[in-house]
Amino acid sequence: MSIVGTYKTVHVLLNQQLIKSGLTFPQYRVIRTLGKFGAMPMNKLGEHMLVTPPNITGIIDRLEARGYIERKESGTDRRIAIMRLTRKGQILHRQTSVRHRKLVSRIMKVMGREELTKLTSLLQRIKEAALEVKSDMQE
């Protein structure tokens, strides 16, 4: 099985779990990013998620309408809005993170510690190579 095939299989499981929480995968990624890194401007959030500004705006709008995220004006520049989780969003982040970790643990328990360490190292190498190619393409 290929990396892409494996990703798709796991992604389907994660999506099924997220549907129970009423979230799409991109919405979950926003909740997870803000939960992990804290409040940030929308452009920074888009960079973390590798999402274009128009796409992130729609995701934020829907999460804000549901009460999970709020926008606050930056103290220095009123044109810049800072995104942050509301109390309701923080609760959702904790709940979805716990369920996500449990699901991933169930999947990954087929591997021993050494195998997981090796897999992590190999995936990091692939990520670094992809970022290098991306950088080369931008020149």
> 72 and 33 share a domain?
yes
The answer to whether 83 and 49 are in contact (CB under 8 A) is no
Bridge partners (DSSP) of residue 71 are 83
> 119 and 104 share a domain?
no
At position 6, the amino acid (one-letter code) is: T
Dist. CA 97–CA 73, nearest whole Å: 28
pLDDT value at residue 53: 78
* Range(s) of the domain holding residue 23: 3-108
> 116 and 69 share a domain?
no
Dist. CA 64–CA 57, nearest whole Å: 10
- 110 secondary structure, DSSP code: T
Number of domains in the chain: 2
pLDDT value at residue 55: 85
pLDDT value at residue 43: 86
pLDDT in tens, 44-55: 998 888 888 788
pTM of the model: 0.79
> 103 and 117 share a domain?
no
> 87 and 66 share a domain?
yes
pLDDT in tens, 114-134: 999 999 999 999 989 998 998
> 72 and 21 share a domain?
yes
pLDDT value at residue 75: 72
Q: Look at residue 29 and give its three-state secondary structure.
A: helix
Give the domain CATH number at 10: 1.10.10.10
Residue 83: phi and psi, rounded to 5, are: -90, 135
CA atoms within 13 Å, Cβ hemisphere of 51 = 21
pLDDT value at residue 46: 86
> 9 and 51 share a domain?
yes
Is residue 91 pLDDT above 90, yes or no?
yes
Average pLDDT along the chain: 90
> 104 and 130 share a domain?
no
- 75 secondary structure, DSSP code: S
pLDDT value at residue 85: 97
> 66 and 25 share a domain?
yes
Range with lowest mean pLDDT among 5-14, 42-51, 90-99: 42-51
> 36 and 93 share a domain?
yes
> 38 and 77 share a domain?
yes
pLDDT value at residue 1: 59
> 68 and 51 share a domain?
yes
